Chains A and B, each alone.
Chain A
Amino acid sequence: MLQVDDIQLAFGGVKALTGVTVHAEKGRITAVIGPNGAGKTSLFNVVSGFYRPQVGRVVLDGEDISDLKPHARAYRGMSRTFQNIALFHGMTVLDNIKLGAHTNLKSGILTAGLRLPLTRNEESMLDREIRRDIIGLLELDHVQHHPVEDLPYGLQKRVELARALVMKPKILLLDEPVAGMNREEKREMSRFVLGVKKNWNTTVLLIEHDMSMVMGISDHVVVLSFGKPIASGTPDEVRANPDVIKAYLGGADEPAAA
C-alpha cells in the first residue's frame, strides 16, 4: 500500500535519516518506533510531504508521490494526525471532523454561497456519514456540538482521529497517538485504532515510543535509531532483537515503557 524506500534526509550537513525503508501492508498496522531523536517525526514529515528527502521515494498504491505537495497527497488518500493536537479552535467537534472530508467534497465558492443542490446534498450526506460511521465508532455522540477547545485532552485526540478518518483514507498516519495520555486513555485509543482497522480495513502507519501500545496492536514494527533502521519484523521478533535492546537500554534517554 505505502512504500517508503531508502530515504535519506539531511538538514545542512546533519543527517536526519539514512537508508530508511518502511513498507505498510494493506489492512495492517505498521509501527515505527525508536528513542527520541531517532528520526520518527522527520520520517513522517517526509511521508506527508513537508520535507523533501535528498534520496529515496514515497510510493502510495503503486504511484510515486515523492514530488507531490501535502495537499495533493491528501487527494491521493493520505491522512494524518499530529503529535501535538492540531484541531481548529472556534469550531465545534462536528465542524472539525467535517474538515477532514475536504478532499471528498466538491463545492466551490459559488455552489456553496448559493446553496445549490450539489452543496446541500453533499453536506447532508456528509452529516449522515459522520453520524453513521464515525461518531458512533469513536463514541463522540455526546460532544459533537461542543466547541473543540472545551474538551479534555483524550477526547481531543479522538476528535483528531475522527477528522483523519472522514476522508476514508487509504493510508492513515498516526503521529504518537497516545503521547501524554494516562493508562486508561491509552487503552481506549488502542481499542479505537484496532476498531478502525477491523471495521474499515484501513492501512495504518504509526510512530510511537510507548512500547506497550505498539506491541499490543501492531502487525509489523520497524525500529529506528539515530536515523537508521536497526530492525524490523513482528512485535515478538523485534522485542527479542539484541540491537533493539541495546538501542533502548544503552545511550538512549527514553527507556522502553513496557
Chain B
Amino acid sequence: MADTMEAELLSDPRTRSSTGTMVRYGVLFAILAVLPFVAPGYWIYFAGLLGINIIATHGLNIMMGFTGLLSLGHAAFVGVGAYTVAILQTYFGLPFWLTIPAAGVSAAVIGVAFGLPSLRIRGLYLVIATLAAQFILHFVFVHWQSVTNGDVGLPVAPANVFGFLLNNETRIYYLILAFVVASTWFARNVIKSRVGRAFIAIRERDLTAQVLGVEIVRYKLLAFGLGSFYAGIAGALLAYFNRFVNPEQFGLLLSVFFLSAVIVGGMGSILGAILGAAFMTLLPEILRELSLLIGSGLGIDLGTILTPLRETIFGLLMVGFLLLEPRGLAQLWKRASQKSTRDSA
C-alpha cells in the first residue's frame, strides 16, 4: 500500500519536485535578501532596475505572450503609472501605499480606454490603438505643461515607509523585491487558473474558446487591463527609484525594449519574462562598459552612439529570436535543464 502510494507520488512530476522546488526558492530568497549586504551598490542599483523591468515585462507577457494581444504602447502605460505617482505626490501629498495602487489602477483604466474599441475586433486594430496610445500619451506628458511640467518633468520625493525614507538603492531595493515576488506569484497563479487557461485559449483558437464558454471580449479586456496594471505598478516604482519623471523615459524605444524582453525571454512563459527582462536590462550595461573600454582604447568617445546601438541591438534580438527561437530563452533554459537532469541521472 505504502509502496504504491510512493510510486504514485513519484510518477507525478509536480509532487515529485515540490520539495526540491521549495528548497530552491528558499535559497533564492535568502540570496536576494542578503544581496545588499554583500554586493556593491552599483549591483543593487541594477537589481532594482531589473525588478522594475520584470514587473513591466510580466504585464506585457500577460497581454502578448499569453493572450496574443500585441501592444506597441507598453512604455506609455508605464509612464502613466510614473506620472500618477508624481502628480498625486506633488499636488496632493499622498503616501506611497496610496500612490502605487493608484498608479496601477490609472494605467489599467487608461489602457482599457485605449484598447476597448479595438478589443471588440480581431487582431491588427489593437496594434494601431496601442501605437496611438504610445504617441498620444507621450504627447500629453510633454505638452500638458501645467501638470507634468513638460520636458523638464517632476521630482519625486522618496517613499516614506512609516517614517523610514527609501532614499537610496538598498532601501528601495526591498520594496521592489517585494513587488517582484508578489507580481510573479500573482501572474503565475492567474496563468494556472481558469482565467489563464481562457487567455491561452483566446490566443490559440478564439472560436473554440467561445464554444467552451469563454467570453472573448471580457477576457481580452481582463488581460489588457491586468497587463496595463502591471505596467502602472512598474512605472510607480520607477518614479520612486529615479526620484523624478520626465517624458524622455517613456518613448517608443522603451516600448521596443519591453517587446524585445518578452520575445527574447519567451512569449507565454513566466520564467521567460524574468529571463528576458534580465537579459535586456544587463545588455545595455554590458554594451556601455564595452564601448567605454573600446572607446578609451582607441582614444575616442563612443558615448554618443550608445542610444542608437541599443536601438539596433534591441531590434536584432527581436528579429533574431522570432526567426530562430520563437519560444525564447525559456525554451533554451528548459532544454539545458532537461539535459543536465538527464546527464546526472
Contact = CB atoms under 8 A, between A and B. Distances in A.
A–B contact at 8 Å CB threshold (below): yes
Interface of A: 48, 50, 69-71, 74-75, 79-80, 82, 86, 88-91, 95, 98-103, 105, 107-109, 112-115, 119, 122-123, 145, 163, 167
Nearest to B268: A90
Contacts of A163: 212
Contact of B208 (A86, A101, A108): A86
A164 to B, nearest CB: 9
Given A105-B194, A108-B195, A74 B211 contact: yes
B207 interface: yes
Contacts of B187: 113
Nearest to A95: B197
Interface in B184-238: 186-187, 189-190, 193-198, 200-201, 204-205, 207-208, 210-216, 222, 226
A152 B35 CA distance: 49
Nearest to B196: A112
In this complex, the member of A82, A102, A103 whose beta carbon has the largest number of chain B beta carbons within 10 angstroms is A102
Contacts of B13: 145
9 contacts: A50-B207, A79-B212, A90-B268, A91-B197, A95-B197, A102-B198, A112-B194, A113-B190, A115-B189
Chain B: interface size category: 20 to 34
Interface in B276-313: none
Given A74-B212, A119-B193, 19 more contacts: A50-B207, A70-B207, A71-B211, A74-B211, A82-B208, A86-B208, A88-B200, A88-B201, A90-B200, A90-B268, A98-B194, A98-B197, A99-B201, A102-B198, A103-B212, A107-B194, A109-B190, A109-B222, A119-B194
Given A102-B197, A109-B195, A70 B204 contact: no
Contacts of A167: 212-213
B213 A103 contact: yes
B195 A89 contact: no
Contact of B194 (A79, A86, A102): A102
A105 B198 CA distance: 12
B204 A71 contact: no
Contacts of B226: 109
A151 to B, nearest CB: 16
A88 B205 contact: yes
Contacts of A102: 194, 197-198, 212-214
Nearest to A126: B194
Interface string B97-131: 00000000000000000000000000000000000
